[in-house]
Amino acid sequence: MEYVIYGIITGCILIIASIGFSMVWKTENFLNIAHGQMLLIGAYMAYLFKSVLNFPFALAMIFSVIATAVLGLLLAKVFYFPVRKSGILVLLFTSIGLSWVIYGIVQAIVGPQIRTFGLETSNMIEVFGSQILSYQELFIILISLACVFVLHFILTKTKNGKGFRAMAENRDLAQIRGINSKKLSNYVWLISSGLAGLAGILLAMSGTLNMELGWHQILIIMSVVIVGGMGNLYGTMLAALIIGLSMDVSTIIVPTSYRTAIAFIIVILVLLIRPQGLSKGGAH
């Protein structure tokens, strides 16, 4: 039971980290490698607000997510939008280059020191007589669920959400039918970067802020998105949970050092059996 809970926690962080990546793939049609560095920016923004400017942690989180979202949009406008017409490979290389630029700039500012938010260790919650979950981990699960529900609501109940789904299917057709793809694209970058920032904060909450945070996550994020069906948001969410659970539950029978390898074994299996991923693609 404990391993299942650990897997859910891992999966929940992966959900938040992967959805944005998946959204950008779906609408812009390229792998945004710089997404990993947005996690890094989010974490260090929160550190700036919490530990340098002495904001309460909740406020620091909110400001950091907003700041990362805005920064993500600005970066997209400066670096991606102008080369959009040049094709996905140009976008891909731009995103890789941008990753290193962000990494270098953050490193120049913060230095190589490892930092933490300095949060108190949270207490454990008793579930069925045993302590298997901390309040901090419960917070991660709840935040993740909230993101899933809010996103589901936006996609299914709002005009912009429906527009996003249409744009995801066929950008040109959506534009012809009067959907403002420019505006929607801005929303996608805002949401994607904001969620990446949030994931970065959640990761740093339970561990440390270190420069490798973005690089450590991007490969797992990519495997989640592949398993989920490249751009299918619900598939991505499901894949994040499956990969999270597999990595943690597998440690019961295989040595823990193979934990990450399990994620990639799943990717290989999915690509062999079901190349289109768990879902067919599309936003729903």
Q: Where on the chain is the footprint of another protein (CB under 8 A)?
A: 2-3, 5-6, 9-10, 13-14, 25, 29-31, 33, 88-89, 92-93, 96, 100, 107, 111-116, 118, 121-124, 131, 134, 136, 203, 206-208, 210-213, 215-217, 222, 226, 230, 248, 251, 255-257, 259-260, 275-276, 281
What are the beta bridge partners of residue 209? 115
CB of 218 to another protein, least distance (A): 8
- Rank residues 153 and 173 by Cβ distance to another protein and give the closer one: 173
Residue 27 vs 190, nearer CB to another protein: 27
Looking from the CA of 99 toward its CB, the CA atoms found within 13 Å total: 22
- Residue 122 or 181: which CB sits closer to another protein? 122
Q: Report, in Å, the least distance between residue 6 CB and another protein.
A: 4
Neighbours of 11 (CB within 10 A): 25
Distance, CA of 137 to CA of 176 (rounded, Å): 45
Least distance (Å) from another protein to the CB of residue 178? 25
Closest approach of another protein to the CB of residue 53, in Å: 20
CB of 25 to another protein, least distance (A): 8
Nearer Cβ to another protein, position 9 or 155?
9
Place of tokens 């996609």: 155
| Type of residue at 230 | M
Query: Among residues 66 and 138, whose Cβ is nearest to another protein?
Result: 138
- Distance, CA of 111 to CA of 115 (rounded, Å): 10
Q: Which is nearer to another protein, 190 or 199 (CB)?
A: 199
Q: Which residues pair with 127 in a beta bridge?
A: 130
- Which is closer to another protein, CB of 25 or CB of 187? 25
Residue type, 47: Y
Contacts of 25 (CB under 8 A, 6+ apart): 31, 32, 225, 230, 231
Helix (H, G, I), strand (E, B) or coil at 115: strand
Q: How far is the CB of 220 from another protein (least distance, A)?
A: 8
The C-alpha atoms of residue 214 and residue 122 are separated, in whole angstroms, by 25
Ramachandran region of residue 178, left (φ > 0), alpha (ψ -120 to 50) or beta? Answer: left
- For residue 16, which of 118, 131, 146, 135 has the smallest C-alpha distance? 146
Q: How far is the CB of 181 from another protein (least distance, A)?
A: 19
